[in-house]
Amino acid sequence: MPPDGALHSTLRTLIDFAQPRGDGASRLRLSFGAPSRVLVARTVAEVLPVLEAVEALAREGHWCVGYLRYEAAAAFDPAFAVHAADGPLAWFGVHDEALPWPEVQNNASPVPTVDWQDSLSRADFDQRMQAIHRAIANGELYQLNYTAPSHAGFHGDAQDWFLALRQAQPDGYTAFIDTGEEQVLSVSPELFFDWHDDRILTRPMKGTAPRGATPAEDEALAQRLRTVPKERAENVMIVDLIRNDLSRVARPFSVRVPRLFHTEALPTVWQMTSDVEALVREGTTLADVFGALFPCGSITGAPKVSAMRMIRELEPEARGVYCGAVGVVQPGGHATFNVPIRTVTLRGSEARCGIGSGITADAQADAEWEEWRHKRAFLSHAKRPVNPPFELLETLALAAGELRDAPAHLARMANAARHFGYAWNEALAAACLHRLQAQHTAGMWRVRLLLDAQGTPRAEAFAMEAPPARVQLQLADRAFDEAHSDFTRFKTTRRAHYEAFAPTAAGVFDTLLWNRDGEVTECTRGNIALLLDGRWVTPPLRCGLLNGIGRANRVRSGQLAEAVVRVDDLPRVQALAFVNSLRGWLDADLNVPQK
């Protein structure tokens, strides 16, 4: 039996895993206090005994939560080439009971700024790409998953940071594990395997595309991901590898692929997954399952032995928990593990996070480098450890019993619900609006339609005065850092980033915002129109702004054209207007500081 590690009364483990066989709504969301015992493998010879102990204790009624490092692969096949491990090859906390998810603390302070430093230059990346392409051309392998770490200093609360990362990268298979020696903050979207009774499911994730700025662009990018030959080939190669791996523990003829090329929407990227499942042979153990599947082929490449050999040659340091496995074995033996991508490992004040992609014969360096940038974006989105639950929001004008632009507002809320994974029933939302409409048949009203995560709509109305003919705007005194946030692209009740720019001077109606690149974006409560060089323009969505209904109507009609307007261009602007669906078109004045 491997030695028990030292216990610590403050250790806490959090598990928030999707139920991969369910409807997506139910989750395994639990916390655990200090473990009653700890199972640790620091040598290759100790890995299998740890897994055997984990399975035995789970079948006795305990919860076992932990991880395997990528370098634990050598325990299952000596042909798997890996670096020397930088920590325990396997670590599992054993718990006698599961506890409720911790209460949300709404007064938590922002996560400290984390300045990530890449370990790989673009020139070195291009050289590695050329080496991989040579190996593919020489027939040494078909695909290689190449990765590199970023490093940062972190001075804050590790659990708070995990909760912020989980908020930026919701759903999936997220876990926080504090071993005392290190903290693992995994917000991985990828399932490694789910094994329950005699059924085992794997869901490799290969294929990535960025999210779009508009619903149409977003869907076009997802459709392209599903159909581009390079992405499909990358996915199929790994599916075939995992089918072969799974056959080592499967009953004859039971391995099948019920779903292929499925696109999943994450906040910053689209990912493509496929399902491979089987019925396991009688007598199969947890160690057998890991022996057949670990490491997951999606983070090695194919063939696995050749790919891992080249990974060790190209990557100068151990991957660690990244690309290993993080998971939970429930009482009775139900085991669910993720592939820990989108995962931060923290030791003291030193943080590490790996990013990578699958390289095939037709992979282009520019495209892969850009893909890495999109995958890394979840790190910069983690701003606060815990925020209050938010609702989706639409604000409509109700004048003389008529709702303005109601179909467009409902369509935009439906798109936001899809993005954030909120339940959506358009008939319920429309009925909610119509009930409020029937109660306010005269006068001018500001209507707020809200939707919670469970899909329950509610509407409220507030008396509204006629809008002024002309308004005064002030220019933001600093860049709007949240220009590309999900909570800017979509309208929700989470508006602290806007409220920080609320006007402070008397008589000022709103603040005109601009992004880090010096591009004008929008106001805090509406869009902006500018008369520049003889034509009315509005900033394009890629600058970072909400696609307002009033703005969209005027772009569609041709009244406004999209064009980038920089802060430096403002002295040349001949006229301005504040635009939204609630108030319409309001002529505006802006005091531009003179240079």
- What does the pLDDT look like over 572-590, one tens digit per residue? 999 999 999 999 999 999 9
pLDDT of the residue at 22: 63
Q: Say if CB 146 and CB 300 are below 8 A apart.
A: no
Q: Give the angle subtended at the CA of 171 by the CAs of 423 and 53, to the nearest 5°.
A: 135
The beta strand positions in 33-154, using DSSP E, are 37-41, 63-68, 90-95, 117-118, 143-153
| pLDDT interval class at 592 (50, 70, 90) | low
Read off the DSSP letter of residue 108. P
Cα–Cα distances (Å) from 486 to 352, 482, 489, 516, 583, in that order, read 25, 9, 5, 16, 24
What percentage of residues in the chain have a pLDDT greater than 90? 71
Tens digit of each residue's pLDDT (9 = 90 or more) over 163-184: 888 877 777 899 999 999 999 9
Q: How confident is the model at residue 332 (pLDDT cuts 50, 70, 90)?
A: very high
**What is the CA angle 51-53-59, rounded to 5?**
105
Show Cβ contacts of residue 548 under 8 Å, excluding neighbours closer than 6 positions.
Answer: 522, 526, 527, 579, 580, 581
The mean pLDDT of 254-280, rounded to a whole number, is 87
Supply the CATH classification number for the domain 13-381: 3.60.120.10
Whether residue 482 contacts residue 473, with contact meaning beta carbons closer than 8 Å, is answered with no
Instruction: Band the pLDDT of 385: cuts 50, 70, 90.
Output: very low
Give the model's confidence band at 272: pLDDT under 50 very low, under 70 low, under 90 confident, else very high: confident
Give the orientation angle of helix 122-137 with respect to helix 365-381, to 10 degrees.
130
pLDDT band, very low/low/confident/very high, at 1 (cuts 50, 70, 90): very low
The whole-number average pLDDT for the span 54-82 is 97
Tokens representing residue 72 in the block: 């634990």
CA 43/CA 87 separation, integer angstroms: 10
Computed over every residue of the chain, the mean pLDDT equals: 90
User: Rounded to the nearest 5 degrees, what angle is found at the Cα of 404, between the Cα atoms of 399 and 406?
Assistant: 135
- Fold classification of 392-463 (topology level): D-amino Acid Aminotransferase; Chain A, domain 1 (3.30.470)
Burial class (CB in 10 A: 0-12, 13-18, 19+), 90: buried
Are 13-381 and 470-590 in the same CATH fold? no
3-state secondary structure of 574: coil
CATH of the domain spanning 470-590: 3.20.10.10
Q: Which residue has the tokens 């008396």?
A: 463
Residue 446 tokens, joined: 């500001």
For residues 564 and 543, the answer to whether their CB atoms sit within 8 Å is: yes
Residues annotated as catalytic (active site), given as ranges: 190, 206
DSSP 3-state of 99: strand
Mean pLDDT calculated for residue range 269-297 = 94
pTM of the predicted protein model: 0.71
Instruction: Name the residue ranges covered by the structural domains of the chain.
Output: 13-381, 392-463, 470-590
Helix (H) or strand (E) holding 187: strand 183-188
**Nearest-CA neighbor of 239 among 203, 281, 265?**
203
